[in-house]
Each structure stands twice: as structure tokens, then as C-alpha cells.
A and B are shown apart, each in its own frame.
Chain A
Amino acid sequence: MGGFDSPPMRWSAFPYLLAAAFALTLAASVRVANVDPRLLVDPESLGNVARFVRGMWPPKLAPDFLQLMVRPAIETVQISVVGTAIAIVIGFPLGLLASSSLMWRGVLHEQRVQRRRWLVGLPGYAVARAVLSVLRAIPEYVWAFVFVRAVGLGPFPGVLAIGVAYGGMLGKVYSEILEHVDPRPLETLHASGATRTGVILYGLVPQALPTFVSYTLYRWECAIRASAILGFVGAGGLGQQIELSMRMFQFDEVLTLLMMLFVLVAAVDVVSARIRARLL
């Protein structure tokens, strides 16, 4: 094949233009977003913050309160686990459909004779990508708001919100992982007469699996935090308790709840790090 010498460097204005555009955008954004650090040290706002912090200490550790909060804590974990599970069920098939290398482009399609098969692949791909974009573009907070109206208060709308929003994210990332696996084993299987499913099962999925699991675990960590936010619109878990305590100015309860949330997040981090270490 050709030589390995790289072509001579050519001066290009592109990186400089890009840098200038970035600087301009940043400057404009600071203005438009009213970024004003002086407000942070304003005596009045400092006073408000101090009242909030003073109210938090000491955290409320009364046994009956803690006992009451066990259930919401478990609920938070349950929301994140079931929500992530639903996200996988939504994301995986859509991720397959949104992979150009599977649907219409690249080495598996070189020999395609029937043009209409190509026409089946491309629209499916486009629709899957569009669906994933919509699922992703709507924040889980808004999904939760919708689902609370649909199925009522409690953990279930939180589960649905995480499932749908994270399904969109997982699907998008899955498709990118699938498009970037080593294509040579796929070509080999394809060339030995394997069906599309055979290529997926023996070439694609085994290669993509570690990255899949790793990213899904990361999403699960995010889901724990997200489920706390979702509680604010009534979708159960610790978030709902935090919102109630804030509304009643019980800042000592808020601190306890935040500490519980911290423990949960840290525990999930440890668990997923363990799984990752065993996997890679």
C-alpha cells in the first residue's frame, strides 16, 4: 500500500477561526446569562445562605424520622434500578436500528444487489435516530411531570421518566459504540454466510458488551441522582421528602436527606466500579 509519510503541514485558518468563534460565544453568553459574581458576595444574599446553612445544623437524627426515611431511600434505589432496566429495553433495540453500519452503510452492505433492501434500512435508521433524539431532548424532569399526571404520584412516574429519557441516551450511545467496533470480525462472519442476526450475536455484541455495561452502569449512577430531582415533581423517593422538608423550612431534615443521598450515590459508585473492574 502507500507510504507512511504524512503530507507536509499546511497552514489553515480554520482552527483560529474556530477559537475566535468560541471566545465570542463565551463572551456573549456571559452577558446574556447575567453572570455577575458580585451578587455572590452581596451581604443580603450571604445572609440568606447563612440562614439556610444555620438551619441545617445539626442534622435531624431522631430515630423515628430516620425510620420514616428508610422507605423513600429504598424507593430511590428502586426507581434508579427499574428505570435503568426500562432504559436498556428501550435503548438496545433502538440503538441497533440507529447504527448505520448495521442498517445501510459499510462492509455488510457492499454486495447488496436489491436496491429496495437499502430503502428499508435507511428509513428505519432515520426514524430510530429521530425517536432517540426526541426521547433525549425532553428532560427527565418534564417526562416525570407528564407521567405524574398520567399515573399519579409515587415512584412509578419516576421509573417511567428515567426509563424513557435514559432510553434515549443509552440508545444513542449504544449505536455509537456499535458503529465503532472492529469491522473485520463482522466482515469475516458475513463472508462465511452468517445472517444479520448471526453477525450481531457473534461479532457485534461480544465486542461492544464491555463498553455497553460500563456506560449503562454510569447511567445508573446518574439515575440515582436524577431520581432525587424527580421527587420534586412528586415522583417518589428521597427527592419528594427533600422537597417536602424544604417547603416546611425543616432544613435539618434536608441535611439528613442529603447525607442519605450521598451514601446511596457513593454505594452505587462502589458497586459499579467493582462490576467494571471484573469486566474489563
Chain B
Amino acid sequence: MYRLERVRKTFPDAAALDGLTLTVHRGEHVAVIGPSGAGKTTLFRILNLALRPTAGRLLFEGRDVGGLSDAALRRARTRIGTIYQQQHLVGRLRVVHNVLAGNLGRWSTLRALTSLISPRDVDAAAAALAQVGIPDKLHARTDELSGGQQQRVAIARVLVQDPDVILADEPVSSVDPSLAVTLVSLLRDLSAESRKTLLVNLHSVDLALNFFPRVVGIRDGRVRFDLRPQAITPALLEELYAGHADEERQLAQLKDGYDPFGRACRPLFDLGA
């Protein structure tokens, strides 16, 4: 599905990715973890073809993205659905339009315009909202929903888009723990049902280790490990997060038996040690 070869991405003030190499196969579920500032969000924006690598190659479905025309790039983007940390929805629009915006990659201008006046394909939008558990919010104004509900709307939009890959960039870091579990399992189950590839950037280590068969640790813009969760040791995690106070505190709490997700996640350090 994806192949990244020594991808570098530099911004005017810093390097975000520094020679990152990674391969993701069709249908895989991968969690990406790492301290803040490691380049995870940049990685996801490169994967969804919003940013261009400064150097290195990105292959999507075997084709070098750097050589694609604008039109081919747009077609490729329709096959990649992204869910963001904060709601990237238009608050003033009704939920139905934010969900139906998943169709914009294949709708003609006329269709997009007329749908704003009288929504087209309402059944698909309603079905997607039912799948994410908020069927009654179809005609609500989006900014009147809670953060968790808006995140569900974002997932519903990706369902309507029906891409081959779902990228979720810290989808649950602004919701409470129990909702985080619900949303991550929702993403996992929906992707499994429709055989979509799923990449999730997660802030909480225990969600990553419990819900994903493959965990990639990123630090300083490079892959530090790429393992099954069973093979990830506390030492590896400590090394990954070394020097980042917040994340080290999270690890220490987990070591002490702190268990924010309850029964949804097994105690972390039974896994690898």
C-alpha cells in the first residue's frame, strides 16, 4: 500500500522527518507511537498526500507519488481518508453536509452545489452516522455537538468517502478514556469489516499495544522500532520517550498499575517483560 524510502521533510525552522523508511501492506492495522515532536503528524500529512517529502520517495500503491500529475494526485487522495486530532469539520454546516463532503472526490461541481441546497444521498450519510452510533444527529448543526460526537462525524465522513486507507492522526487525544477506547475499537472494527488499511497515530501507549498487531515507534523523525506489541519491552518504550517529561510520566503511571482504560486494555507490562 505504502512504501516510504528514506523520506525527509524539513520545515523552515526544523527537520520533522529525517530519513524515515516504512512499508505498510494492504489491509494492515498499524499504530504509530512516539514522543511529541517526533514527526508523527508530519508523517501522516505526507501519507495523505497533503505534504511533499523534501527528499526520499513515497510510493502509494507502487507508484511514486512525486511523479503524479495534479489530477492523478487528486484521484489518489480520494482513496485515502484522514481523521484528525481536532475536528476539522465546518462547524456552521449541518452534520449531513459534513458527512456528505466525503463524496466531493467523485461529485461533479453541480452535484456538490445542489446537495448543499437539498442534500443528495442522504441515506448513505444516515447509514454512516448509524455505524458510528449517532443516527439522530443527521440534521444537527455540527458545532452544537460534543467533541466526541464531532469525532464520530469525522469517522462517518471517511466511511462515506470509502477509501482504501484510513489515516487517523491522534483521533482520541481530546476525548476522555472510555470514549477513546470506543472510538479506537470502532475504527479498528470498521476498517476490518471493509478490509481497509488503518494507520493510527496514538498518544496512549496502552491503546496502541492492545488494539494493534503492529506498532511503529518514531523518534526524531526516524523509525526506532517496528514490532508486534508482544515484542515491545518497557526498556524500548523508555528509550523511545526518553527526555520527554509528559510521556515519561505516562509510562511511570502505567508501571505503577495506573489503568485509565479499565478492562479494555490489559495491564501494560504484562505484555513484554
Contact = CB atoms under 8 A, between A and B. Distances in A.
Interface of A: 1-2, 107, 110-114, 117, 184-185, 187-195, 197-199, 201-203, 206-207, 209-210
Contacts, number: 104
A185 B112 CA distance: 16
Contact of B86 (A184, A194, A195, A202): A184
Contacts of B89: 185, 188
A114 B67 CA distance: 10
Contact of A198 (B88, B104, B158): B104
Contacts of B70: 112-114, 117
A202 B50 CA distance: 18
A112 B65 CA distance: 11
B80 A189 contact: no
B11 to A, nearest CB: 11
B235 to A, nearest CB: 26
A202 B93 contact: yes
Contacts of A188: 82, 84, 88-89
Given A112-B70, A195-B74, A210 B92 contact: yes
A193 B116 contact: no
Contacts of B134: none
Interface residues of B, number: 44
Contacts of A193: 74-80, 104-105, 161
A107 B163 CA distance: 22
Interface in B48-81: 48-52, 66-70, 73-81
Nearest to B66: A113
B52 A111 contact: yes
B51 A111 contact: yes
Given A191-B49, A191-B77, A193-B74, A203 B90 contact: yes
Contact of B90 (A1, A191, A198, A206): A206
Nearest to B74: A193
Given A191-B77, A192-B77, A184 B101 contact: no
Contact of B116 (A111, A114, A189, A201): A201
B203 to A, nearest CB: 13
Q: Which 5 A-B pairs have the closest CB atoms?
A: A193-B78, A193-B105, A194-B104, A198-B104, A193-B77
B196 interface: no
B102 interface: yes
B50 A1 contact: no
A191 B48 contact: yes
B49 A189 contact: no
